[in-house]
Structure 1
Amino acid sequence: MQIVNYTNQLKIELDRLKELFNQGNPPTDRRDKDFFEMVKNNTDPIYELLAKWEELALSIIKESKISVHPNQIVSTRENMELLLMHSYYIDVRRRRYMELYKSVLYVFDQLLRAVEDMN
């Protein structure tokens, strides 16, 4: 099922972002155009995947009445987008970062379990 593939890909990206955050190499100049271009090139595919994931997840929830609320999907997308930026710019405390990380991971796992139970 496509939603499972999307979710697993996003989980891989989530772990990669966490590693990037843990390395703790913020840019020396937040206005550095080269750094911005590098971040943009690295994150655009993830943003696209996230948009597809959200659309598909919301349609599955609407059709199947699984145990994930639509607001959780929307919030997860927003939180993942925050993690994308915080991972590169290292502009948030570790505790806050980990709260976002765990929240996103929880919904990804919850959705995977719900889809698995549906089959």
Structure 2
Amino acid sequence: MELKEQTESLKSHLNQLREKFDHNEAPVDSRDRAFFLKVREETLPIYTLLEEWEATALKVVKNREAKVHPHQVASTRENMELLLMHSYYIDARRKRYMELYTSILYVFDLLLEDIS
């Protein structure tokens, strides 16, 4: 999968996660095994895509095809991983969640602008 497609797919997931954060309630018991397995099943493809995206994005950045710093790529992956968990467990303040969301979106948009 090409970097542009990966980034657009991750942006789509990002928007779905925000909807989940905005409209769902926190789980009654965060240690619920069934809930954990559901979260794991739903997030595994996103984690896989995120790992592939990071590797592809780093290659593009190191070839100076984009104006994004390698550290931004790594931070974006970490932030997206945090956001994934906060979207299901609803355990972050809205302000913190939106800071992560905005940061991720900024890097995705910057990459898309440079590679298009």
Taking structure 2 as the reference length, the TM-score comes to: 0.97
* Equivalent runs, 1:59-70 vs 2, <5 Å: 59-70=59-70
- How many Å separate the matches in 2 of 1:86 and 1:36? 13
Task: Report the counterpart of residue 56 of structure 1 in structure 2.
Answer: 56
Task: Report the counterpart of residue 10 of structure 2 in structure 1.
Answer: 10
- How many Å separate the matches in 2 of 1:49 and 1:102? 20
Backbone CA RMSD of aligned residues: 1.0
- How many Å separate the matches in 2 of 1:66 and 1:35? 39
Identity of aligned residues (%): 54
- The ranges of structure 1 where at least 4 consecutive aligned residues each deviate by more than 2 angstroms after the TM superposition are none
Deviations 1:21-47 (A, max 9, x none): 001311100100000000000000000
Extract unaligned runs of 5+ from structure 2.
none
Aligned residues: 116
Task: Report the counterpart of residue 100 of structure 2 in structure 1.
Answer: 100
- How many Å separate the matches in 1 of 2:46 and 2:66? 25
